């Protein structure tokens, strides 16, 4: 009705002035534009609901596929663990070489992890509900436990929670209570920045839904720990000149092949021997030319034996 009335004002005997007519047309256009936008938004919402439905269906099917292949992977994980057990310090080397995990390790943490013999990650059957990380240790001077674990799951309310093994520290060996101070030669204590102990992770349940270390171990290290065992510490980096040189030296030592430095040293020795022989030849030639000869002053010139190399033992 308002639109019809506006049209009458624009065309009837009592039509409005052009400026007012322009404003009316602008209002009508704005109303139609808002209506079209609202209809578009409603249609977008309908389409988005269909997309969400497909995403949910895909998640259910992906979950089934993951459950299937998790079962198929288990024998291979077991075989890999048996082979890793034959390599001393495999897991501590892997952790030290990982750029994120190494940042959490202090010197004493690293010493304690030398007793780490096995790591295992177990994802629960429905996967969405969580996972558990198990650490097996040999007898060590730090704690009594033979195994430590941390478990992540979802409670009845749907909130992520975690729980872990209580570490039974031996007297004076609790790495989570270190002061972050060292003592210099003068006996004075000095502050230094020391990362929080790796073992504090077992007691930290403040943000179970975003546990960075747990996710790194589960999603990055556990699928292929060998890649981090082989790369070398992060401060040097994989493929650096230092790493290649060390690898070449190990190769040469194993097969008793001289490396580049040995070859250069041999080349230097050969050059010195050649120079010594040249000096001898030159000395012999000069001696031959001056033999029984006289110098300008009429004196007999004696051979110069000082040019000969010293071959005395």
CATH number of the CATH domain containing 141 = 3.30.1120.90
* Same domain, yes or no: 117 and 201: yes
Q: Identify which has the larger pLDDT, 250 or 226.
A: 226
- CB contact set of 218 (below 8 Å; sequence gap of 6+): 121, 123, 131, 133
pLDDT in tens, 98-154: 999 999 999 999 999 999 999 999 998 776 778 999 999 999 999 999 999 999 998
| Rounded CA separation 214/59 (Å) | 23
Give CA–CA dist 280/101, Å, rounded.
65
Q: Is residue 78 part of a domain?
A: no
Is 171 among the domain residues?
yes
Whole-angstrom Cα distance, residue 10 to residue 209?
A: 65
Do the beta carbons of residue 217 and residue 133 sit within 8 Å? Answer: yes
Q: Does 173 lie in the same domain as 95?
A: yes
The whole-number pLDDT of residue 293 equals: 45
Is there a contact between 187 and 251 (Cβ–Cβ < 8 Å)?
no
Residue 185 lies in a domain: no
Q: What is the pLDDT of residues 79-88, one digit of tens each?
A: 999 999 999 9
For 9-36, write each residue's pLDDT tens digit.
Answer: 555 555 555 555 556 656 666 666 888 8
Considering the domain architecture, whether residues 155 and 246 belong to the same structural domain is answered as no
Residue 79 located in a structural domain:
no
187 pLDDT band, cuts 50/70/90, is very low
Higher pLDDT, 290 or 221: 221
Domains held by the chain: number: 3
Which residues are CB-neighbours of 146 under 8 A, at least 6 positions away? Answer: 136, 137
Residue 278 has pLDDT above 70, yes or no: no
Mean pLDDT of 163-175: 96
Distances (CA, A) of 293 to 273, 276, 281, 282: 31, 26, 19, 17
Q: 95 and 217 share a domain?
A: yes
Do the Cβ atoms of 113 and 54 come closer than 8 Å? no
Q: Find the mean pLDDT for residues 196-204.
A: 92
Instruction: Report pLDDT digits (tens) over 31-55.
Output: 668 888 888 899 999 999 999 999 9
**DSSP string covering 211-274:** -HHHHHIIIIITT-THHHHHH--TTT-TT-HHHHHHHHHHHHHHHT---HHHHHHHHHHHHHHH
Range of the domain at 208: 85-179+192-232
Instruction: Output the pLDDT for position 79.
Output: 98
- As a whole number, mean pLDDT of residues 66-88 equals 95
Residues 97 and 52 in one domain: no
If asked whether residues 56 and 122 sit together in one domain, one would say no
Inside any domain, residue 187? no
Q: Are residues 138 and 206 in the same domain?
A: yes
pLDDT at 39: 87
Same domain, 216 and 246: no
Average pLDDT on 163-183 reads 82
How does residue 234 score in pLDDT terms, banded at 50, 70 and 90?
low
- Across the range 225-251, mean pLDDT stands at 62
150 shares a domain with 167 = yes
Q: Is residue 274 part of a domain?
A: yes
Mean pLDDT of the chain: 75
- Is residue 205 in a domain? yes
């Amino acid at each position: 009705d308002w639109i019809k009335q506006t049209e009458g004002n624009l065309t009837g005997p009592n039509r409005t002035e052009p400026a007012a007519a322009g404003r009316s047309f602008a209002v009508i256009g704005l109303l139609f534009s808002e209506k079209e936008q609202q209809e578009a938004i409603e249609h977008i919402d309908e389409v988005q609901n269909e997309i969400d439905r497909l995403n949910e269906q895909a998640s259910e099917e992906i979950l089934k596929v993951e459950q299937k292949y998790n079962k198929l992977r288990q024998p291979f994980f077991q075989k890999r663990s048996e082979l890793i057990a034959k390599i001393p310090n495999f897991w501590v080397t892997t952790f030290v070489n990982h750029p994120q995990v190494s940042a959490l390790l202090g010197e004493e943490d690293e010493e304690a992890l030398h007793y780490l013999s096995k790591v295992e990650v177990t994802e629960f059957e429905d996967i969405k509900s969580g996972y558990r990380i198990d650490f097996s240790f040999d007898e060590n001077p730090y704690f009594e436990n033979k195994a430590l674990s941390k478990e992540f799951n979802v409670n009845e309310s749907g909130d992520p929670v975690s729980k872990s093994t209580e570490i039974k520290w031996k007297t004076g060996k609790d790495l989570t209570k270190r002061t972050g101070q060292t003592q210099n030669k003068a006996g004075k204590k000095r502050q230094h920045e020391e990362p929080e102990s790796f073992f504090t992770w077992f007691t930290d349940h403040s943000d179970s839904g975003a546990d960075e270390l747990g996710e790194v171990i589960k999603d990055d290290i556990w699928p292929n720990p060998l890649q981090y065992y082989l790369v070398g510490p992060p401060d040097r980096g994989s493929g650096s000149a230092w790493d290649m040189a060390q690898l070449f030296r190990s190769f040469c030592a194993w097969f008793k092949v001289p490396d580049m430095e040995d070859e250069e040293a041999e080349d230097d020795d050969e050059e010195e021997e050649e120079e010594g022989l040249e000096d001898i030849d030159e000395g012999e030639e000069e001696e031959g030319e001056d033999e029984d000869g006289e110098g300008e002053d009429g004196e007999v010139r004696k051979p110069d034996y000082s040019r000969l190399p010293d071959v005395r033992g």
